[in-house]
């Protein structure tokens, strides 16, 4: 029996068809929760009570989306997700940019400006990547109190910058070791200083790893709940805390369509980021895998 099929003049093996079929089935399996969330968010409560989660909305409505955005927490007067969503935006953008820039400079130093104790510093930063969030809560709360930044968006930005520096430094250092030392040494011989070499040689080569750090930090900061609920005041809480308050607010009737719409709103920025820049993330991770 021929195990090959002719399709448009080409040959496709039965094994390849089986692999593609399996991949499609796995993709559908993992996309099923997203489908349920989307369809439920456009359903009415009467259709949701019918019990068929996979049914398509009979009378699609965006009322649940409007309620999730503007007035999802009417029972406890929390004002919906809108103000908390923008709190997250104001927190994420500066935290991602600053932590990535500091990590870039740290990685550049550790890769090409060796000094006494550099290996100790690098090891300490690596250890910092494995410190659980819970360990730093008390000292971080003390620091924010002394700086008078407790319960503010600025305080949350500072927390995520400090916690993210270890990761960004690790990423950049491992990427910059792939830049030939001869290139940096030649620039030194020509009289270029620290920042000149960084600005004219290192920085222009850093787009792939910057994309990795942007996506990594954006995902970690946007999805963070613990720091937000501990260090964020009532007016500075991020969208993840507001989503938790919405879902756990009891008003007599559980509005699953509103909950699903709110969950999609909270997850939408990271989904869009990965769809737009996901290929750069993979490219950046593999770019510094091998030195030479």
Which is more confident, 280 or 140?
Answer: 140
Q: For the residues 254-282, what does the mean pLDDT come to?
A: 86
pLDDT computed for residue 124 by the predictor: 86
pLDDT computed for residue 111 by the predictor: 87
Whole-angstrom distance between the N-terminal and C-terminal Cα of the chain? 48
- For the cut 50, the answer to whether the pLDDT of residue 76 exceeds it is no
Burial (CB count <10 Å: 0-12, 13-18, 19+), residue 154: middle
Q: What is the CA radius of gyration of the chain?
A: 24
Lowest mean pLDDT across 83-87, 88-92, 274-278: 274-278
How sure is the predictor about 25, in pLDDT bands with cuts at 50, 70 and 90? very high
Which is more confident, 77 or 60?
Answer: 60
Lowest mean pLDDT across 52-61, 197-206, 211-220: 52-61
pLDDT computed for residue 290 by the predictor: 47
pLDDT computed for residue 73 by the predictor: 44
CATH superfamily, with its number, for domain 82-287: MetI-like (1.10.3720.10)
How far is the C-alpha of 157 from the C-alpha of 139, rounded, in Å?
16
Lowest mean pLDDT across 50-59, 97-106, 203-212, 217-226: 50-59
How far is the C-alpha of 87 from the C-alpha of 93, rounded, in Å?
10
Lowest mean pLDDT across 33-42, 115-124, 203-212: 115-124
Q: Name all contacts of 248-252 with Cβ < 8 Å and 24+ positions apart.
A: 249/73, 249/75, 249/76, 249/78, 250/75, 251/74, 251/75
Q: For the residues 109-124, what does the mean pLDDT come to?
A: 84
pLDDT computed for residue 128 by the predictor: 80
pLDDT computed for residue 3 by the predictor: 54
How far is the C-alpha of 220 from the C-alpha of 164, rounded, in Å?
9
Contact 100, 168 (CB under 8 A): yes
- For the cut 70, the answer to whether the pLDDT of residue 238 exceeds it is yes
**Mind listing the pLDDT tens digit for each residue in 128-168?**
888 888 888 888 999 899 988 888 999 999 999 998 999 99
Domain locations in the chain?
4-61, 82-287
How much is the pTM?
Answer: 0.83
């Amino acid at each position: 029996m021929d195990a090959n099929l002719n399709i448009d003049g080409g040959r496709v093996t039965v094994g390849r068809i089986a692999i593609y079929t399996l991949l499609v089935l796995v993709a559908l399996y993992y996309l099923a929760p997203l489908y349920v969330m989307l369809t439920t968010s456009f359903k009415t409560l009467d259709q949701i009570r019918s019990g068929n989660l996979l049914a398509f909305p009979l009378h699609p409505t965006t009322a649940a989306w409007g309620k999730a955005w503007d007035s999802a927490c009417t029972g406890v007067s929390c004002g919906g997700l809108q103000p908390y969503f923008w709190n997250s935006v104001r927190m994420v953008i500066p935290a991602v940019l600053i932590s990535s820039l500091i990590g870039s400079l740290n990685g550049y130093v550790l890769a090409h400006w060796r000094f006494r104790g550099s290996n100790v510093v690098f090891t300490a930063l690596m250890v910092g990547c494995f410190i659980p969030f819970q360990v730093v809560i008390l000292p971080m709360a003390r620091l924010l109190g002394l700086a008078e930044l407790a319960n503010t968006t600025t305080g949350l930005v500072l927390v995520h910058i400090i916690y993210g520096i270890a990761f960004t430094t690790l990423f950049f250092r491992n990427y910059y070791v792939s830049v030939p030392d001869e290139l940096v040494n030649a620039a030194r011989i020509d009289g270029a200083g620290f920042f000149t070499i960084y600005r004219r040689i290192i920085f222009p080569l850093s787009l792939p790893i910057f994309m990795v750090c942007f996506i990594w930090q954006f995902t970690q900061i946007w999805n963070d709940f613990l720091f937000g609920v501990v260090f964020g005041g009532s007016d500075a809480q991020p969208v993840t805390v507001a989503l938790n308050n919405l879902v756990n607010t009891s008003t007599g009737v559980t509005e699953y369509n509103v909950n699903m719409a709110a969950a999609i709103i909270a997850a939408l920025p990271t989904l869009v980021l990965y769809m737009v820049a996901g290929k750069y993330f993979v490219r950046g991770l593999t770019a510094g895998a091998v030195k030479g």
